[in-house]
Amino acid sequence: MTTRLLPWLFVLVMAVGPLWLGDQYILYVLTSTGIFIIGAMSLNLLLGYTGQLSLGHIAFFGIGAYTSALLSLGFDLDLGGAEPFVLGPQPVWVAFLGGILVAALFGFLIGKLAFRVRGAYFVIVTISFAQVMRMVALNWVDLTEGPMALNNIPPLSVWLPWDGVIPLYRKEYNYLLVLAVAVVCFLVIQRLVQSRVGRALVALRENESLARSVGIDVTRYLVVATVIAAGMAGAAGGLYTHYIRIVDPDVFMFIYTVTMVIMVVTGGKGTLAGPIVGGLAFGILPEVLREVARPEVQWIIYGVAMIVVVFFLPQGMVPAVKNWFAGRRKRVAATALGLRKETSA
């Protein structure tokens, strides 16, 4: 019972706590960390559950960011015809959903490709994919403004009973929105991995031949996972783009994928809470360090912290805590049993 309520208690604390503190900087840090945590959760679906390392995961994030930005700003495309194709600015939520869809579509293509390539080749394909996306964003200046970046991206909006439809300029609202999207993503992943589909994904991770031998169409489920993961990363990208309100090709940088991988691995890949725990720890740590240390030292501490976690808790923080509790329960049960034996004797 407590384990069922615990996640909701956590959400409640996360919803109320930062607002109650009211510090704009803390809100900013938590919002951007939250966006990355959504990305990390989606990466975990692939890395943690299907066992496929997508080292180009930021590509889906960037595609979501650019698509949502472009749709909300409107754009024209010279396709070589007489008239350029012109699309006016779309409502922000239409743009946001569009970003998710386009990212998911690319996820579908990458997932299909993974049919032929697994393991190391999958890693290479995904890295290259992110690099290609970065080149496109840099060089297709007509569409993306290249290194000049897309500016003045409108914020997301929300309908409030007391205000009507308002654009989300305030940090509080953006923060709550990110939290809400994170909760939805969490529930989607939770329901998925606890289902027949999720068991098929884990079967692919654990033993692909055995999975096929019992009739699991591993390719199909890998595509399902990639599509959902890509769509979620696209949603994170959309949140990012409408929050920061500027997007440039650097959004595709490799370091962001690495950040998400660190969040997943330190928290515990293949666990539901892992990316959240790892994400909070390693998303907030740089901001804390910024207060107390010089830049060079910051990165050294960050790296050492990461190595310490990976070295001492190779499964990640969440499994370590779980094992500790399980061990304690066992010890308690053993003592209870011992007592009962003594009294019955």
Partner 1 sequence: MSLALDESAAPILEVREVAVHFSGLIAIASMSFAVPEGEIVSLIGPNGAGKTTAFNVITGFLKPTGGKVLFRGTDLTRLSSNRIAGLGVVRTFQRTSIFAGCTVFDNVLTGMHRQGRAETWGALLRLASVRAETERMRAAVAEILAFVGLSHRADELAGNLAYGEQRLLGIAIALAADPKLLLLDEPAAGLNPSETEAFMGVVQRIRDRGVTILLVEHDMRMVMTISDRVVVLNHGRIIAEGPPEVIRANPDVIQAYLGQGVKHAKG
Q: How many residues bind partner 1 (CB under 8 A)?
A: 27
The amino acid at 31: T
The DSSP annotation for 265-294 comes to: HHH-TTSSSHHHHHHHHHHHHHHHHHHHS-
Residue 211 or 262 having the CB closest to partner 1: 211
Output 170 or 331, the one with its CB closest to partner 1. Answer: 331
- Cα 247 from Cα 270, distance rounded (Å): 31
Looking at beta carbons only, is 128 or 207 nearer to partner 1? 207
Give the separation between CA 236 and CA 62, rounded to whole angstroms.
9
Residue 78 touching partner 1 (CB under 8 A): no
**CB within 8 A of 118, min separation 6: which ones?**
52, 208
Residue range at the interface with partner 1 (CB under 8 A); choices 142-150, 212-220, 259-267, 331-339:
212-220
The SS3 of residue 162 is: coil
Q: Does 275 bind partner 1 (CB under 8 A)?
A: no
Smallest gap from residue 91 Cβ to partner 1 (A): 25
Segment 130 to 189, residues that bind partner 1, using CB under 8 A: 188
- Report the C-alpha gap between 279 and 33 in whole angstroms: 7
The residue within the footprint of partner 1, chosen from 197, 244, 293, 321 (CB under 8 A), is 197
DSSP 291-314: HHS-HHHHHHHHHHHHHHHHHH-T
Residues 309, 314: Cα–Cα separation, whole Å? 7
Closest separation between CB of residue 118 and partner 1, Å?
15
Residue 128 belongs to what H/E stretch? Answer: helix 120-139
Quick one: which H or E segment has residue 345?
none
Which of residues 196, 311, 312, 342 is near partner 1 by CB under 8 A?
A: 196
| Least distance in angstroms from the C-beta of 28 to partner 1 | 32
Q: Which is nearer to partner 1, 30 or 224 (CB)?
A: 224
Nearest to partner 1 of 138, 197 (CB atom): 197
Residue 195 touches partner 1, criterion: CB under 8 A: yes
Identified binder of partner 1 from the candidate list 82, 120, 148, 214, rule CB under 8 A: 214
H or E segment and range at residue 51: none
Nearer to partner 1 by C-beta: 196 or 341?
A: 196
Tokens of 156: 């997301």
Those residues whose C-beta lies under 8 Å from the C-beta of residue 300, and which sit 6 or more positions away, are: none
325 binding partner 1? (CB under 8 A): no
**Least distance to partner 1 from the beta carbon of 226, Å?**
12
Q: How far apart are CA 323 and CA 174, in angstroms?
A: 36
112 binding partner 1? (CB under 8 A):
no
Q: How far is the CB of 297 from partner 1 (least distance, A)?
A: 38
Q: Residue 11 or residue 188: which is nearer to partner 1 going by CB?
A: 188
**Cα–Cα distance between 265 and 262 in angstroms, integer?**
5
Q: Which parts of 154-294 fold into alpha helices (H)?
A: 171-193, 196-206, 208-213, 218-244, 254-267, 274-292
State which of residues 47, 104, 211, 239 lies at the interface with partner 1 (CB under 8 A): 211
Among positions 228-267, residues that touch partner 1 (CB under 8 A) are: 228
* Closest to partner 1 by CB, 2 or 209: 209
Asked if 199 is part of the footprint of partner 1 (rule: CB under 8 A), the reply reads yes
Pull the structure tokens for residue 242.
Answer: 């409408």
Q: Which residues bind partner 1 (CB under 8 A)?
A: 188, 191-192, 194-200, 202-203, 205-207, 209-218, 224, 228
